[in-house]
Structure 1
């Protein structure tokens, strides 16, 4: 891959939530000749961001990740027991086929799917989950993707959770990632993550999901406190609330101010 191709691919791979199409439009405008080489970048983006697709012939959605990849551009969904092809550029699914769940932990996977679906419906306005056998069927991966897009208000956000459960020891560990982009009259992006480690206390699907919900609620509270501290501390200190004169500027008269005299309260400097 040339340096130019690598640079263009990096734009795709780092696209903010809900804004991949905007990034691609910019690439087409600036480097149209490079768009044909972006398939690997689209695939990497979709797998890392847990992009969701609508399954053909129904209303169900499934997520794309390395954990449910069958190789190439084919993936599977345990909830619908379906495999499907994905066009990574258009983020569309096609060619569905039956794909029965084949795992020694099949009952636990189904129970986790049910419990986790109920829990996420309570905490996220829109989300998709995936529960898959992992590590040669010795572990279970639990994935969550929740997106909230508000382009009319110039912000988009994404919450991603990845957990690995060891059924033999009931140990659970994972990572929560939050990515928010705010771009009204500026460009601010928060991209943060937190590692989660839970001991062997969760022995049932409901218990596992309760521990996940507890960890995620705790992280959300930490983020809320951090935002409050930033708003009342660091951000507040970036600018004065009042000018050096300690008087509010009368903006309707701004065109009549004489710099150095009127703004200084009538004192000539």
Structure 2
């Protein structure tokens, strides 16, 4: 049986987009003694979900991920050329990589593509620890708690500079929680290649557009098929029945739509 600490940590890892603070409040209420031991779980969650933070004196957010970690619990951002400790203590930092020119070109091309396709997103381009590949990351969050839903799009691509091949995964996580709980978490693996950073980014955009179109078709099918079958059909009048007034209905005219006999 899993320990209480492991169980509580799993709650953090499974928190829906934009709802980590709600989960933490639940943990404080149910297992207050375990909150102090959750730092590793928070770190893992932030890195896996590509959490974003704003550095002091900057209006732009930066990514946190396993691909831009440094020693001592620090991270670095390729765009601002700074390292940071979560959202504080920012310092100048230039990644030590032989692929610096490719990183700069990808940053420029990916910036334009992200702006075109996502209303709100953050991205990063980072050389991996071995410097054998380049990680291209993107996260786009849309939170609408007033309408009881939150969503997150995450893209992870690894470019092999020796042959310009790219492997990647696109992940979408959406949670709808008005009078219930419906969560969709799906992913798509993709492969592509390109002769230049510009072409690679175009292929990435093409793959993401294709995945979004597939999701749109799936949602349409669910709405007209499975979800529709779960709902109680309206009467032929297309009006909801006011059950508290049911005794006063004239069956044929008011409910059936025909004339009372």
- Global fold match (TM > 0.5): yes
1:205 to 180, 197, 205: 197
1:18 aligns with 2:7: no
Count of residues paired in the alignment: 252
Q: CA deviation at 1:247?
A: 6.6
In 2: Cα distance, 1:56 partner to 1:222 partner: 40
1:153 aligns with 2:147: yes
Q: How is 1:218-233 mapped onto 2 (pairs within 5 angstroms)? A: 218-233=210-225
2:167 to 145, 170, 173: 173
Q: How is 1:7-156 mapped onto 2 (pairs within 5 angstroms)? A: 7-86=7-86, 93-156=87-150
In 2: Cα distance, 1:249 partner to 1:229 partner: 24
Q: CA deviation at 1:156?
A: 0.4
User: What SS class does the counterpart of residue 225 from structure 1 fall into?
Assistant: helix
User: What SS class does the counterpart of residue 251 from structure 1 fall into?
Assistant: coil
Unaligned runs of 5+ in 1: 87-92
Q: CA deviation at 1:102?
A: 2.1
Q: CA deviation at 1:135?
A: 4.8
Q: CA deviation at 1:123?
A: 0.9
1:257 aligns with 2:254: no
RMSD: 2.0
Q: CA deviation at 1:71?
A: 3.2
User: What SS class does the counterpart of residue 189 from structure 2 fall into?
Assistant: strand
In 2: Cα distance, 1:19 partner to 1:44 partner: 16
CA 1:217–1:98: 2 relative to 1, 3 Å = same
Which has the higher mean CA deviation after the structures are superposed, 67-76 or 171-180?
A: 67-76
In 1: Cα distance, 2:151 partner to 2:234 partner: 33
Unaligned runs of 5+ in 2: 257-261
TM-score normalized by the length of structure 1: 0.88
